Amino acid sequence: MLVKVIGIILLIMAVFLIVSILMQSGKSKKLSGTIAGGAETFFGKEKGQAINKRLSTVTNVVAVLFVALVLALFLINAKQTADKNNTSSAADESSVASDTSDESAASATESAASEAASETESAASEAASEAASETESAVSEAASEGETSAE
């Protein structure tokens, strides 16, 4: 809210600075002399110069205030950005911590699954080797019975 108010004030001051600088008559009296020249003819030569002096003083004061407000707005914006970065970095750290815990949980699950798979594989290979040895012994018994019966 404060940033918006300062922005509006800066906009008004910028327009005022542009108009007041154009209204001042310079030594060359080109464009600004044309605009301010009407004041000299309407108020007389001395009143035109008095208006020019007042306008010059007001322009200087507004210019200094303009620069001060721009710097203040910059500092406010920098502080808000730093606060947002601190908040987001704290959120990033907590998400990294949760990601790390999620990764370690996933790693533990994977290792448990791989252990279970290796146990299943070893049990299956033992069962297969037992079945193969039983089959070989059954075949050899059948073959020896066949030879004895053929004699």
Write out the chain's pLDDT in tens, 151 residues: 888 898 999 999 999 999 988 888 766 655 555 555 555 555 555 666 778 888 889 999 999 999 999 999 999 989 888 888 888 776 666 655 555 556 666 666 676 666 766 677 666 666 666 666 666 666 566 566 655 555 5
Rg (C-alpha) for the chain, rounded Å, is 47
Cα 140-144-148 angle, rounded to 5 deg: 170
Sequence-ordered list of residues with C-beta below 8 angstroms from that of 107, at least 6 positions apart, any chain: none
Residue ranges per structural domain of the chain: 2-120
